Amino acid sequence: MTVFKFAPAPRLTETRTVECKEPGHGQFEISVVEQFEGGALSTSCPACRWTALNTQTSDLLRTVAREAEQADKLNAALFATGITPRFRACTFESFQVGDNPDKQRALNICRQYAEGFADHYRDGRALMLLGEIGNGKTHLACAILQHIVRVEGASGLIVTAEAIMQAVTDSFRSNAGPSKSELLTELAAVDLLVIDEVGMHTPRPGRDFMPSLLHEVIDRRYQLVLPTILISNQGRERLPDFIGPRALDRLREKGGLLAPFTWSSARVGGEA
Ligand SMILES: [Zn+2]
């Protein structure tokens, strides 16, 4: 059984049993499902939906049922990205560039990466977003993720380096959750993985297993020719301290892209 440690599912805020009025459908469970864009939607009778999708009913009923099914799948896929409520409204359009050419350049690189994702996916081409904290790196990474999920129907996940390490540390301490190998498999299963907040901790040479762990994650995806986005407040020259030198080479292969976020940070508007 696959245990998903990193990819969240929408919350079911209420569940109750009701009787469908259609003959033969009987009782079913209504759940109120949290929606990625806010609010919640009630589920409907599964037998009614099945009938609309699979039997000779009206085109309208079938279209409504099909759209509802697609909306459910999209909602689940958006939740599974791990984008937190704070970053759900982050789009390319909502990224403020003002008259700063460096911001415009970072936006262009990220937008082009999202729009050209089919090619980057085929080649396993990575993208690094490097620069000051508070300059909108996570904002644009979340915009890329939403784009590839909504437009390409791809799967994506954003996770911090710390969360990866914490999950692996927990797996050593307890047999209850997923094993390290299952965690690495989950991180290698998505079409696009974003590793956020790389380089936020103080490296402890010889005692620090973060670099070798991140190397393992990046290398696994490299072997599978899957793209990874890495976000760090560190410059390229210091990154090997946090992910190991070979992982940096992996990220640069196949024309790996780099978006610099090097303008001086002003935490205006709550960007991260
Ligand atoms: Zn029914």
Q: What are phi and psi of 184, to 5 degrees?
A: -65, -35
9 alpha carbon – ligand 1 mean position (Å): 25
**Among the four given CATH numbers 3.40.630.30, 3.40.50.300, 3.50.50.60, 3.30.930.10, the one describing domain 85-261:** 3.40.50.300
The parts of the chain modelled with pLDDT lower than 50 are 1, 269-271
24 alpha carbon – ligand 1 mean position (Å): 8
Amino acid present at 215:
H
177 alpha carbon – ligand 1 mean position (Å): 37
The ranges assigned to domains in the chain are 12-80, 85-261
Residue identified by tokens 């697609």 is: 70
Single pTM value for the model: 0.91
pLDDT digits 0-9 by tens, 142-172 = 999 999 999 999 999 999 999 999 999 999 8
> Residue 174 in contact with residue 136, Cβ under 8 Å?
no
Q: What are phi and psi of 205, to 5 degrees?
A: -55, 130
- Sheet with 156-160, strands from edge to edge, namely 156-160, 192-198, 228-232, 127-131, 257-261
32 alpha carbon – ligand 1 mean position (Å): 17
Q: Tokens for 198, please give them.
A: 């790389």
The pLDDT assigned to 184 comes to 95
64 alpha carbon – ligand 1 mean position (Å): 14
